[in-house]
Amino acid sequence: MGALDLVANNQQLLLNGVGFLAVEGAPFIIPVLGNAIKTGPVAFYGAAAALAAAEGGLIVNNVKVPFVGLDAGFYLGLLLVPLAVLLAGVGNTLAGLKK
């Protein structure tokens, strides 16, 4: 596959990009994540439900991406649905650890 060669050839560029996002986003992400973990599984279930509701709203209202005309429900769903599943899984994991 060409993806492995692409990553191998651009490893430093990839690390600089991911590192920048991790370092610069940390002051905003860490307090939110800390409060969510302190709150417990309900916070993650709520976030998953909010993402699923947003996806449902996009589909029901047949929202299109401006200037392009593509179906926003489908293309944003490629991001929203896996994130909702991931957050629900984190909630289940936290619920399992509390028992």
* 3-16 per-position pLDDT tens digit: 777 777 877 877 88
Over residues 31-44, the pLDDT tens digits come to: 999 999 999 999 99
Could you give the CA distance from residue 45 to residue 31 in angstroms, rounded to a whole number? 18
- In this structure, the answer to whether residues 63 and 88 fall within a common structural domain is yes
- CA-nearest of 43, 34, 74 to 58 is 74
When divided into structural domains, the chain yields a total of 2
- In this structure, the answer to whether residues 60 and 20 fall within a common structural domain is no
- In this structure, the answer to whether residues 46 and 73 fall within a common structural domain is yes
Please give the residue range of the domain that contains residue 29: 1-39
Tally the residues of the chain: 99
The β-bridge partners of 71 are 64
- In this structure, the answer to whether residues 54 and 92 fall within a common structural domain is yes
Tokens encoding 25: 């986003």
- The overall average pLDDT reported for the chain is 89
Res 1: pLDDT = 61
The structure's pTM equals: 0.74
- In this structure, the answer to whether residues 35 and 48 fall within a common structural domain is no
- In this structure, the answer to whether residues 35 and 63 fall within a common structural domain is no
- In this structure, the answer to whether residues 68 and 97 fall within a common structural domain is yes
